[in-house]
Structure 1
Amino acid sequence: MEGQCFPHEFWALEEVVRVRQDYLGRELPTFLPYAAFEALVGRFKGSCKQRALECLDETTGIVLEAANELVALYLGRYPRAAAVGGVCPAHRGYGGCSIKAGYYTKVAAIEDSDIFTNDHFSFRQHHAEFLTRLKRASLGLDNSSSWDQAQVESQLTPLSKLLGRGVSVDKFALGVPTGVDDELQLMAACLAYIKVSIKRMVDNVPLFIRNELLNDVADKKAVPKRLSEHLETVEAQGLLDEDARVVRTRAKLESRIQRLKAAVKLLGNPQALPQALIAG
């Protein structure tokens, strides 16, 4: 899901330059206009919602199929109930929930209407990764360029000796100033936030599925309760009052209790014991 939600279309550098200029105010150099960041991220908003809802719909179908099998297995223990039409809606109702009109739709709407994260660590980590890749690409040092990686690293060897520490291609790219550094910073920030936002959705969708669908199906004790909620008639509900095996077991136990009571009564009246043995 994460790979499908991440935007595959690209933002041309010229377009990012134009957006930054449109929103540029009194910011000092290296300070980016936040409105430009909002405008670029806003183009991504909503793109993940449709895929998430499709994922929920697909999962709902699978869960409902499993739930129907579970209900059929449970009703198999009630021969009379299985033959009553009023029980059938339970198959359709069990595990069903209005996903698009429910809690998740509200969560998706909040995600689309705001830009926020407290996960500063992940944001900074993704920002650094994207900025490095963007700087490499802008300098023609990306892996797909005509530059030979070994040749570039060999040319950095004298610089490493001069500085007394190793200089990688990534460090070199980040240290070289360009005329579009501000735009690259803006692009990296947008991509980093989108990455964090998608990760949040990737966690929320399965969590919602577990809470709204899977927990009930996984809880055997919830089956009778959910069935009784979706039965149409009182008569149909009455058919689920007793498990067939429980009825048979109860009858055996009641018969045993009666025999034990009779035995206790005989033990309390020793004179009647010989007659009972003869009658037995």
Structure 2
Amino acid sequence: MQHVDDLQNQAALRLARDADPDGERTIGVLTKPDALTKGAVGNRQKWRDVIEGKSHPLKHGYYCVRLPDDDERKRNLSRAESQKIAADFFEAIAPWNAIADRNRFGVPNFVANISELLVKLIEKNLTKLKEKVQQLLDDCEAQLRLLPVLTMGEPMTEVCSRITQFCADFQSAVFGESHKLELVQPNKRRYNGLKDEIFRTRPNFTTSLIIRDADYVKETSPQPAGPVIDLNHVKQAIADSVGWELPTHVPYDATKNFIRGFTSQWDGLALSCFNDIFATTSDFVQECVRKHFGQFKSFETQVAAIVQHDLDQCRDGTQHTLNDLLLKLEQVPFHTQNTEFFRSQWQFWCQYYHGRSGHHWCNFERTHNDEAIQVMAVVRAYFEVAYKRVIDYVPLTIEHELNQTLAAHFQDSLLNRFLGKMGTPDQMKALLTEDPSLAKKREFLEDRRTRLQQIKRRLEEVRKDVVNGVDDASVEHQSY
């Protein structure tokens, strides 16, 4: 540095301040002091002010070194001879010989002091560096553990093993042994929703005679979805149904029409529930396919196609069972063998619609005087019977015909496909070719882990190397 006046404008100093604002790792070095002429009194004083810390101070101060000139380099002087010339220069020439701190002059002093400073900085920051490297290494290892394990076994064995694991995983989920949050619990919530939806289809009968006190009955939520049906409405429905019945005989058509009013809604509700369950099952199956086969794109694609075929077949079969078998059973004739429950419900609703509290029971064998209330009680009693069986049979049908059937069929479908039509060793090996993007990620992480391990080992050795370097430098410079 020949011009101390330009010190503040030097790019190196600006970079040092940006990288080391606290000055912990910055040392100033003044070079070519022999370039100052005897007449440059002002510049010599500025250099002295810098070295003594009066101008442009740095936390670790400045050093001044004299390097060999062109003539000395031509003479091929030894290091010891060059250091002797520099030492004599600083001892004989003003203002250097007047500066009290003699450790600020010459390359040997600079090397020794900077080495000691380096050791201190390393001791201060080495622990943090090692912790940071270990954290990066742990993160890298964690990401590698998330990757699927590379297959090392015989290809056909590996293919069979993955198919078996996939099928066992799905089967255990279907029967509630695993993945409960992903399959069983969402399905149960949807079936509970179906229960509420069907309960809302109950006929909304009412009479001015109903007394709803705390000791009797209260309709529970959710409230009926249909319009209010009062006594006059029921009486009109009976009148509209009269044919050649004898007097006092209540036409059965009136009862059937009210029953058909709620049972006709159950097809749509049941199929809506099934569609939701099917969507949940499909999503879960696809996630299982990704989990077990996603490492191998070709394998995953072919498995997904087979699984989708089975899903479609089971969907159609379950819809057929719901439509043509189960829900048709709730159409004419309206019938139940559960006569004891029906009788108790009929008596209960007779009493309810008459608004009587206490324990009065109607006589099932004799016709009630009020025909409308009799129809209301019969219809509501039949609703209770049919409602209870439907809210059980729809979920059971879906679970048996869809989920359990899939669990039973997947393994046969997959093994027949891959061991029957694609059973050659080359085809098995091709199935187990890792997805290129996954292979690239694995290669990157393994390379990163190797480099971090190397850095970790080097950090464990670096302090010893630096300390040995300081000791060697001290011995070397003492010999000058």
Q: Contact conserved, 2:289 with 2:300, CA < 8 A, in 1?
A: no
Corresponding residue number in structure 1 for 2:343: 124
Q: 1:44 to 1:85 in 2, by over 3 A?
A: closer
Return the letter of the residue paired with 1:43: G
**Deviation of the 1:81 alpha carbon:** 7.7
1:90 to 300, 306, 309: 306
Q: 1:26 to 1:94 in 2, by over 3 A?
A: closer
Aligned to 2:137: none
Alpha-carbon deviation of 1:131? Answer: 1.7
Match of 1:39 in 2: 257
Among candidates 408, 421, 425, match of residue 234 of structure 1: 421
RMSD: 3.6
Paired residues for 1:70-149 under 5 Å: 70-75=288-293, 82-83=298-299, 85-96=301-312, 97-98=315-316, 101-107=319-325, 108-136=327-355
Cα distance in structure 2, aligned partners of 1:41 and 1:182: 16
Q: Distance in 2 between matches of 1:92 and 1:237?
A: 24
CA contact (8 A) 2:286 2:304 kept: no
Q: Provide the identity percentage.
A: 18
Instruction: Name the CA shift for 1:74/1:34 in 2 (closer, same or farther; >3 Å).
Output: same
Q: Deviations over 1:36-79 (max 9, x none)?
A: 21122222231111111111111111122222233444446xx7
CA positional deviation for 1:171: 3.4
Distance 1:33 1:207 in 2: 36
Unpaired segments of 5 or more residues in structure 2? Answer: 1-193, 202-223, 433-480
Structure number with bigger Rg: 2
Q: For residues 120-269 of structure 1, what are the structure 2 equivalents within 5 Å?
A: 120-136=339-355, 169-171=357-359, 181-219=370-408, 222-228=409-415, 234-235=421-422
Highest relative contact order (Cα 8 Å, sep 6+), 1 or 2?
Answer: 1
Picking from 195, 209, 212, the partner of 1:2 is 195
Counterpart-to-counterpart distance in 2, 1:217 and 1:100: 11
2:263 partner SS = coil
Distance 1:34 1:211, change over 3 A: same
* Distance change in 2, residues 1:90/1:83 (3 Å): same
Gaps of 5+ in 1: 142-168, 245-280
Change (3 A) 1:66 1:33: same
Structure 2 equivalent of residue 150 of structure 1? none
Distance of 2:423 and 2:344 partners within structure 1: 59
TM-score, with structure 1 as normaliser:
0.60
**CA 84–51 in structure 1, closer or farther in 2 if over 3 Å, else same:** closer
Q: TM-score, normalised by structure 2?
A: 0.37
The DSSP-based 3-state class of the residue aligned with 1:95 is helix
Matched length: 203
Distance across 2 between alignment mates of 1:181 and 1:18: 13
Match of 1:200, as an amino acid?
R
